[in-house]
């Protein structure tokens, strides 16, 4: 068996599992990315996300995660729900959280892919990751030829935009490697910079995570959101899609065919009153398989109160 055969099989298996794109890069230290990450952390742009400071050596070296690692397989899975019609002035949820929790959906697919690889190729050591371990997914996506990182910090694919989940599978199997993506096709466009409600995106192509609406509505565990952010959330209850919604490259986005990402009816139809009347028991039942669990009921209540208009409006 040859590297070429193995590579072809793996890419066929990923398509069969529903992944939209697959790229493969040689496993090696990410020294340049390490320097950028260190600078970002030193500026405190991770806010209270202290977990990002941990396991720095694991983030930059795949061999620390999988001993003897040879290849990093990067997979993209489309979650774009199509042009949804939401109630006017209703609290908004980021599109990635419309359906089932992507961690559960993708982890199952990665486990199946690794099983197929072992069955079809032989004994392979590997680990799959989906936004749950110290892996620089976007850096590996670029090295795998899948796109470039835009000014808004998202991976952009020339034919499909940015509404994708990124998954990573690190294996100790040598494969044929894709050509790294070269170039930056954002050009002079600054739509995401100008549209960001909290000015979290700089002209230097750096996103201040501690100012992002997604940070405040999901990652921040404090009981209160800073008053300085009042009036800037544009009805975002969980996450934010503003920088993606205005990105010209997302005109190429097509609705996902992954049934697990079909929107939970409540997310599309709940108005403010329904969210306010939601009990903790109902929240746990309706969103038991949703990414909204990350904010917890108390977080959703906090966010809802924060975006509520002042009395008399």
Contacts of 11 (CB under 8 A, 6+ apart): 22
Residue in 17, 112, 148, 133 with CA at minimum distance from that of residue 64: 133
State the catalytic residue, choosing from 31, 57, 101, 131.
Answer: 131
Strand ranges in the chain using DSSP code E only, listed in sequence order:
21-26, 71-78, 92-93, 126-129, 148-149, 155-156, 164-171, 236-238
Q: Which residues pair with 170 in a beta bridge?
A: 72, 127
Cα 86 from chain centroid (whole Å)? 22
Residue in 12, 18, 7, 24 with CA at minimum distance from that of residue 109: 18
**Known active-site residue 235:** no
In this structure, are strands 126-129 and 92-93 parallel, antiparallel, or unpaired?
unpaired
Answer positive or negative: Cα dihedral of 166, 172, 175, 181: positive
Tokens of 232: 């800037």
Residue in 163, 127, 157 with CA at minimum distance from that of residue 27: 127
Answer positive or negative: Cα dihedral of 170, 174, 175, 176: positive
Residue in the structure block whose two tokens are 């559960």: 104
Tokens of 145: 């030829």
Active site residues: 131
């Amino acid at each position: 068996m040859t590297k070429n055969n193995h590579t072809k099989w793996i890419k066929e298996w990923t398509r069969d599992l529903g992944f939209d794109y697959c790229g493969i890069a040689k496993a090696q230290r990410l020294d340049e990315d390490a320097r950028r990450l260190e600078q970002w952390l030193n500026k405190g742009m991770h806010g209270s996300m202290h977990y990002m400071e941990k396991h720095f050596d694991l983030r930059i070296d795949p061999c620390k995660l999988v001993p003897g690692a040879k290849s990093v397989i990067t997979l993209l899975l489309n979650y774009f729900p199509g042009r949804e019609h939401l109630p006017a002035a209703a609290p908004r949820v980021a599109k990635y959280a419309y359906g089932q929790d992507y961690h559960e959906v993708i982890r199952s697919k990665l486990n199946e892919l690794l099983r197929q690889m072992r069955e079809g190729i032989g004994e392979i050591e590997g680990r799959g990751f989906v936004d749950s371990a110290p892996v620089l997914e976007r850096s590996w996506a670029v090295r795998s030829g899948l796109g470039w990182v835009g000014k808004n910090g998202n991976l952009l694919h020339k034919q499909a935009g940015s509404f994708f989940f990124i998954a990573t599978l690190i294996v100790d199997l040598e494969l044929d490697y894709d050509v790294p993506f070269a170039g930056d096709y954002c050009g002079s466009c600054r739509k995401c910079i100008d549209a960001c409600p909290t000015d979290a995106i700089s002209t230097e192509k750096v996103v201040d995570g501690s100012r992002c609406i997604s940070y405040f509505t999901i990652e921040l565990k404090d009981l209160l959101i800073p008053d300085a952010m009042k009036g800037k959330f544009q009805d975002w209850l969980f996450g934010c899609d503003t920088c993606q919604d205005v990105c010209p490259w997302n005109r190429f986005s097509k609705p996902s065919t992954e049934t697990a990402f079909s929107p939970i009816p409540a997310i599309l139809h709940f108005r403010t009153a329904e969210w306010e009347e939601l009990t903790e028991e109902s929240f746990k039942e309706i969103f038991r398989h949703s990414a909204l669990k990350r904010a917890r009921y108390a977080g959703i209540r906090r966010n809802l109160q924060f975006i509520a208009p002042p009395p008399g409006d």
